[in-house]
Amino acid sequence: MGSSSTIGVRIGGLAMLALASLHVPAALAEECPGHPDAIGTSRTIVVDPLAHPRIGTMQYPETLPLRDHEVVLTFDDGPLPKNSNQVLQILADNCAKATFFLIGEQARAFPDGVRKLVAAGHTIGTHSQTHPLTFEKMPMDKVQKQVDDGIASVTAALTDPSALAPFFRVPGLLRGPNVEQYLGSKGIQIWSADFLADDWRHISSAKVYDLAIKRLEARHKGILLLHDIQARTAAALPKILHEMKVRGYHIVQVVPATPDRPATPTDPQDWREHPAPETLPVAERPKFPSFVFAEAEQLVAPVASDFSTPDGKLLLSGEPFDRVKRPMQNNPAALWPNPVPPAEDAAAILPAPSETVFAMPEKTQPPVQAAAAQTNEPEPPAAAARAGHRVAVGRLGHGRGNQRHAGHVGKSGKMQQAEAAKITPRRQVKVASLKKREK
Ligand SMILES: [Zn+2]
């Protein structure tokens, strides 16, 4: 039995993952009628989740078998009409195909948004039902419910359930043994990422663009994690795609193998970084961005931003970015090296918290997440380090409050906007935070 048919057998029990007729267009030429400057989609690769169950070098040894200057775009947390629609239009104007990791409750609230993604030919995976930031310690029964409900909710929005790919991104990238085991048993591929643009933080769209391009240039290829629900992401995306094209990058779409669609032939080493970042001598490592997590422990001190997830959860140990944590464990002195980053990097990658740190112009981030947001207002490095640490300490208690987040995600966009509008002064949030911690 070939691996492709194995997939069908393994996950055939899940009606929502009946993949035989998965709706995905053939690879597009790198042309986009009516949009001569579009970056296009250079090719589509078919991957076998069973052969490569976990990908993304931020957390796993393997990543997608991309060639030099190939990028896979991924968008989390949607759909949310306004910004997701804008992202969708930008991608359409660029003939660029991406992978979207949808939250079940968002899909229930905005099923049209799910159908639009499918109609546009994007790849769709799931991102749990309510987006709890506790997957790293979640008991198996809750893992199963979160995963299964998320799949069911997205499937319910689809006219063709086979349009859902067996791809999953763990909220906050908070991988854990139970979620990995469960998804593995279902033949669902876990997608971490290769690089971020920090678009969940309170930074400008210009900063999102800057981080996306600089981190891409440090890697030359990879899976980029973005959030289509963020206005700053929608604002930055046209420029990001344009700059990628100018710099010779190509967008690649990824679809799952099915019995009728065998995986793209690859060699095992294609799924590994070459050379693996940690095998590079320090002197040869890219100086910027230091946020390529594999290098971070060697190049810059940890800052608050090192300790929060792409969904804003604070992490004190460096989890979930294991590739940072491991070297730290090997070298305890690296845990708290010189907290002052190189000056030239500070403004670009180490936005210091300021008085506006808790402002929340975005619509979907819950108050507790806003506390982790950062601005791009530069501060003196020492102040930045202190402020970063203060934020870190201040969010200690938030890890326990994830049900609040979970409940928030499922609310309608209007409710979220109304709630978000209430959250601006830092002090209010701090008070709320303290009250919560007292509970
Ligand atoms: Zn998320």
Query: Residue 101 C-alpha to ligand 1 middle, in angstroms?
Result: 8
Is the whole model's pTM more than 0.75, yes or no?
A: no
Query: Residue 332 C-alpha to ligand 1 middle, in angstroms?
Result: 31
Structural domain includes residue 348: no
pLDDT at 311: 67
Structural domain includes residue 354: no
Convert the pLDDT of each residue in 199-250 to its tens digit.
999 999 999 999 999 999 999 999 999 999 999 999 999 999 999 999 999 9
Query: Residue 153 C-alpha to ligand 1 middle, in angstroms?
Result: 16
Query: Residue 171 C-alpha to ligand 1 middle, in angstroms?
Result: 5
- Least confident interval from 26-40, 47-61, 318-332: 318-332
Query: Residue 192 C-alpha to ligand 1 middle, in angstroms?
Result: 11
On the question of a cis peptide bond just before residue 289, with omega within 30 degrees of 0, the verdict is yes
Query: Residue 300 C-alpha to ligand 1 middle, in angstroms?
Result: 26
Q: Which of 66, 71, 73 is nearest to 52 (CA)?
A: 66
Structural domain includes residue 428: no
Report the chain's mean pLDDT, rounded to a whole number. 71
What lies within 8 Å, CB to CB, of 153 at 6+ separation is: 104, 105, 107, 108, 129
Structural domain includes residue 360: no
Query: Residue 366 C-alpha to ligand 1 middle, in angstroms?
Result: 12
Query: Residue 131 C-alpha to ligand 1 middle, in angstroms?
Result: 6
The CA distances from residue 323 to 97, 211, 278, 308, 390, in Å, are 29, 20, 9, 15, 25
| Cβ-contact 95, 41 below 8 angstroms | yes
Q: Which residues surround ligand 1, an ion (CB under 5 A)?
A: 76-77, 171, 311
Query: Residue 207 C-alpha to ligand 1 middle, in angstroms?
Result: 20
Structural domain includes residue 209: yes
Structural domain includes residue 38: yes
Query: Residue 173 C-alpha to ligand 1 middle, in angstroms?
Result: 8
What lies within 8 Å, CB to CB, of 196 at 6+ separation is: 58, 211, 215, 224, 225, 291, 310
Count of structural domains, the chain: 1
Structural domain containing residue 122: 3-265
More confidently predicted of 400 and 67: 67
Structural domain includes residue 349: no
Angle (CA) 130 390 352, round 5°: 85
Q: Give CA–CA dist 250/96, Å, rounded.
A: 9
Three-state DSSP class for 167?
Answer: strand
Query: Residue 262 C-alpha to ligand 1 middle, in angstroms?
Result: 30
Structural domain includes residue 364: no
Convert the pLDDT of each residue in 124-165 to its tens digit.
999 999 999 999 999 999 999 999 999 999 999 999 999 999
- Least confident interval from 12-26, 254-268, 373-387: 373-387
**What is the CATH number for 26?**
3.20.20.370
Convert the pLDDT of each residue in 77-90 to its tens digit.
999 999 999 999 99
Burial class (CB in 10 A: 0-12, 13-18, 19+), 323: buried
CB atoms within 10 A of CB 89: 15
Query: Residue 310 C-alpha to ligand 1 middle, in angstroms?
Result: 7
Query: Residue 333 C-alpha to ligand 1 middle, in angstroms?
Result: 32
